[in-house]
């Protein structure tokens, strides 16, 4: 397994509390019925699965729910007081009864069986200072089959007072035997307007804001990343390589093969350019001329508008497939070449 680029994984370890008001307002609408049920019945579901696309704050919401459950002075039924000792500990990530199991702690791409051994050694022990011990399994699609099998029994009959929160962007990548044990909540993506507001609060350069908000397709974390210098440069490089593939494309292929997040960015960008060409959505308005040239070249080379439409629809399908293949142990260099070759043919 290749190691993740360390500069890009540090974000995941960042404090996520307090959750930004826009994110909280958005997700609490989806979560409120479940949380209210817990309050009304006095019974909390012990194994919970939060799904929803990457970068919409699933981890942040697990931390928020944990803080709320630990809070000893809840003012409002669905929000923690932010002042009691439990809330302060949660905000500082000096958790006592909260355990997070994530691949970014080991800088590997998988969640391995060893990461659950320590947890299992505490079987028979309850929480230290709260009524609950909360365990968050982050990006559970990264569980190895062995690791997933090793926790099945624990999820089937969780010890009293233990609450599990499992998060994933794609529940179909989990063992069905895990999903069937869970109370599932699907968190929703954000609107372009909501993402624009979040970007504004992040002091994003104004010229990047409208492009990033649309490109991110509902994920505010993706939008924030897109606006970073590192990502913005990759985007510029991609467009340059579309204008001049002979000089730029190979370098870009190497960069993407080494760094999966850049690969994902290229897939996002390719998908959006396809959309711009087919529907005239003009998401990448700052590269309008490049896109127009691609579309004209396509018409010239393929002969008819119908053929152009077919070409880009097929390319869209290839990109969609590549996204799934990227989750599997494939040769990344070959995969990115396959996605980029049709673009080169158009130049
Ligand atoms: Zn509190």
For residue 12, the CA-to-ligand 1 centroid distance in Å is 24
CA distance between the termini of the chain: 35
The rounded Å distance from CA 13 to ligand 1 centre is 23
Cα–ligand 1 centroid distance for 244 (angstroms): 57
- In whole angstroms, what is the distance from residue 212 CA to residue 284 CA? 9
Quote the ligand 1 centre to 72 CA distance (angstroms): 5
pLDDT attached to residue 107: 66
Q: Which residue has the tokens 């599997």?
A: 328
pLDDT of residue 1: 36
**With a cut of 50, which residues of the chain have pLDDT below it?**
1-12
Encoding tokens for residue 181?
């044990």
pLDDT value of residue 5: 35
Q: Give the pLDDT score at 106.
A: 67
d(CA 87, CA 74): 10
How many angstroms is it from 107 CA to the middle of ligand 1? Answer: 32
CA of 86 to the centre of ligand 1 (A): 6
- What's the gap in Å between 23 CA and the centre of ligand 1? 20
Q: Are 12 and 113 in contact (CB under 8 A)?
A: no
What pLDDT was estimated at residue 35? 94
**C-alpha 44 to ligand 1 mean position (Å):** 18
**Burial tier of 108 (Cβ tally within 10 Å: 0-12, 13-18, 19+):** middle
The Å distance, Cα 69 to ligand 1 centre, comes to 9
pLDDT at 4: 38
Identify the CA nearest to 116 among candidates 86, 82, 146, 78: 146
User: What does the alpha-carbon distance between residue 258 and residue 239 come to, in Å, rounded to a whole number?
Assistant: 19
């Amino acid at each position: 397994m290749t190691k993740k680029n360390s500069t890009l994984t540090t974000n995941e370890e960042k404090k996520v509390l307090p959750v930004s008001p826009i994110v909280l307002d958005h997700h609490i609408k989806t979560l409120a019925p479940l949380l209210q049920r817990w309050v009304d019945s006095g019974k909390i579901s012990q194994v919970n699965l939060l799904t929803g696309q990457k970068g919409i704050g699933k981890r942040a919401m697990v931390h928020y729910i944990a803080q709320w459950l630990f809070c000893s002075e809840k003012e409002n039924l669905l929000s923690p007081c932010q002042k009691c000792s439990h809330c302060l500990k949660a905000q500082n990530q000096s958790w006592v009864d909260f355990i997070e199991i994530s691949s970014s702690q080991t800088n590997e791409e998988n969640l391995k069986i060893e990461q659950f051994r320590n947890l299992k050694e505490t079987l028979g022990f309850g929480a230290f200072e709260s009524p609950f011990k909360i365990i968050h399994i982050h990006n559970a699609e990264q569980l190895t089959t062995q690791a997933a099998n090793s926790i099945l029994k624990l999820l089937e009959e969780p010890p009293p007072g233990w609450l599990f929160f499992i998060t994933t962007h794609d529940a179909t990548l989990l063992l069905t035997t895990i999903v069937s044990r869970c109370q599932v909540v699907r968190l929703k993506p954000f609107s372009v307007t909501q993402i624009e507001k979040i970007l504004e609060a992040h002091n994003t350069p104004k010229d990047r804001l409208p492009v990033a908000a649309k490109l991110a397709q509902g994920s505010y974390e993706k939008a924030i990343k897109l606006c970073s210098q590192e990502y913005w440069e990759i985007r510029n490089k991609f467009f340059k390589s579309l204008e001049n593939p002979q000089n730029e494309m190979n370098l870009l292929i190497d960069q993407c093969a080494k760094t999966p997040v850049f690969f994902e960015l290229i897939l996002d960008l390719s998908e959006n350019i396809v959309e711009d060409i087919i529907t005239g959505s003009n998401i990448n308005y700052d590269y309008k001329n490049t896109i127009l040239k691609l579309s004209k070249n396509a018409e010239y080379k393929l002969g008819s508008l119908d053929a152009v439409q077919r070409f880009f629809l097929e390319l869209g399908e290839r990109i969609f497939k590549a996204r799934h293949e990227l989750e599997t142990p494939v040769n990344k260099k070959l995969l990115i070449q396959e996605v980029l070759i049709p673009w080169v043919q158009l130049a």
